[in-house]
Chains A and B, each alone.
Chain A
């Protein structure tokens, strides 16, 4: 073992410098050319940075489309999910409460039309997206409170829907923050 100790220590030092130092420095330098300059992509509205494109934020006002439930209260200083199992009674009660709350705020929606993602917590607690269906289901509420015709809002959701990769791989998503900004900009 002793024979290998010094070579091990020296090789470790060299590799720490290259893999721990030069590799990320090189990437940080290249990232200056990328969207967001390697600091994460922010979204600006009315001349003010209002958030990160890919980090969900809380919208409590019914006039806005609402993102999925978060177990970290949409604060990206941390991240995480509920880790509740499928049959956990406490968890099922939480889901049931979310359904009831949703029904109160969206009285015109039938229960079987509520997409599961709106009453279940995301994995990161920061999920910035909804499926188009989960945005559609909120249209009647937003339309009524804002006095905008529902089909105008549907167009808005569709315009803010990102199709699957190449149209065929993965899922379609709606970015809630961008949708709400577009909603505020609507005349």
Chain B
């Protein structure tokens, strides 16, 4: 038990030790300083030349968004058709079929928006071609999209008055060539030398010790799993995701996957302070995010290590905690830690099934996704936190009776309206979606979809409701994990979560970029004695309070019907 907790602490410690130098490196890249990776410059120049892009052309915030949305649309169209016709494309050793239109719609969007909600199983629902040329590709570029959007906000916060915020293509491509690709290679090599498959060999057939004939799915797993975590994507190569013994081989690969998924989100917070030269501002943000994580983490680990009270009643000894849906090589403490991290940042990979975790752990997972800003996904975590900062600055301004200012610019009605809309968007999408599915379930249980509504829920009672709430929460947060018992492989879930995915991704990127762009174009107001200090602990606590109050007001009723009621019924 002690070694389990030590393992978790060591893993977090290693993450911090790596995040600091990574942040310095990231800042160098986006400031345009010389770094060791400059040998990639000729490749980048070649790419820009072929693509007809001038990487030195400065863009304003609107041009950034247009370029970003255009290339995302191209990816969606490409992914949608590739998935539908994957059975006719090469690299399909297991002979898997093409996806139906609604499933291809959901899968394509889900990977374009960095969510990786998977309404199929990797062993049977995709081919090696689509795993690599579509899904792994999207795992790289969707993470780079989030980081590129954040770098625009960095630039806008740094400058006194400007509309020139760098070039989208330049930031985007360098994120891949300088950060995601080289680090992914290192991570994949660690996996490979721990025995994770990486070849193109198809399913193997084995006769076991006692003479059963079984199949073993394999494939180019290691590279996929590297970017899956580094890019906070989370989509599994196999159905069992990172619980699969070929996708997460041992405790060393567990630690590596764990560090990989949270190192960029933490590094981006440090990079923020270095880039805009306000380190204290970033430290306060980091502190608040870490406190937030710990508040979710401790109950999760405690609940999982304590075991299932219903099984305890049967007189069973649960020395290893609640083991349903968990793997022995990770254990409950590590699985609890993973479940918290994967939900606060938007990875959504799992090393044990969330559906089978204890009710309070499920509550923490839901809260992690509803907050979605403690470290958060690649780039987008800080964008979400930025919205909360804007609201906190606005409320603080009202409290002291002055026009609110942030980073030397006046915060006015337009920016606050955008922030308010983005804040209200998440509860709207999550709660409206859950309400809709509940209504369909109770009024039309026998519609002839691939899975009838009456068969959607894998568990009765409060937990069944939580399964639907979780699915929309995950879709909106672009998380991708699920209470996987939910029968989501049908047109209702594919289409409804598909739209939640799009809105839950792009509006929370457009909002902060627009606010930052609008603010940066305003006249610079030097700080004075009356300026609200946004790098103080007081302001950090204020932001934390705003986050807690907004989340509690929006979600408490739904959470009370789901995990909280379940907890009190055990």
Interface residues of A, Cβ cutoff 8 Å to B: 1, 4-12, 14-16, 18-21, 23-24, 26-28, 30-31, 34-42, 45, 48-61, 64, 68, 74-89, 91-92, 95-96, 99, 111-117, 119-131, 133-134, 164-165, 167-171, 173, 177, 180-181, 184
Contact = CB atoms under 8 A, between A and B. Distances in A.
The 6 A-B residue pairs whose C-beta atoms are closest, nearest first, are A83-B485, A123-B243, A20-B133, A79-B240, A77-B215, A170-B251
Given A84-B459, A92-B310, A115-B320, A27 B185 contact: yes
Nearest to A92: B310
A76 B217 contact: yes
A174 B133 CA distance: 38
B319 A133 contact: yes
A14 B50 contact: yes
Contacts of A48: 207
Given A19-B140, A51-B209, A85-B355, A9 B74 contact: yes
Nearest to A129: B328
B133 A123 contact: no
A6 B52 contact: yes
B529 interface: no
Interface stretch (B30-38, B64-72, B262-270, B492-500): B64-72
A95 B459 contact: no
Contacts of A81: 240, 243, 324-325, 353, 355-356, 484
A99 B316 contact: yes
Nearest to B209: A50
A1 to B, nearest CB: 5
Contacts of B218: 39-40
Interface residues of B, number: 118
Contacts of A121: 324-325
A27 B137 contact: no
A74 B309 CA distance: 28
Given A55-B245, A84-B324, A111-B315, A27 B7 contact: no
Contacts of B224: 24
A130 B315 CA distance: 20
Contact of B199 (A28, A83, A169, A177): A28
Interface of B: 3-4, 6-7, 10, 47, 50-53, 66-67, 69-71, 73-75, 78, 121, 123-124, 132-134, 136-137, 140-141, 169, 173, 176, 181, 184-185, 188-189, 192-193, 195, 197-201, 203-204, 206-210, 212, 214-218, 220, 222-224, 238-240, 243-246, 249, 251-252, 254-255, 307-311, 314-331, 334, 350-353, 355-359, 458-461, 463, 483-485, 566, 569-570
Contacts of A119: 311, 316
B75 to A, nearest CB: 6
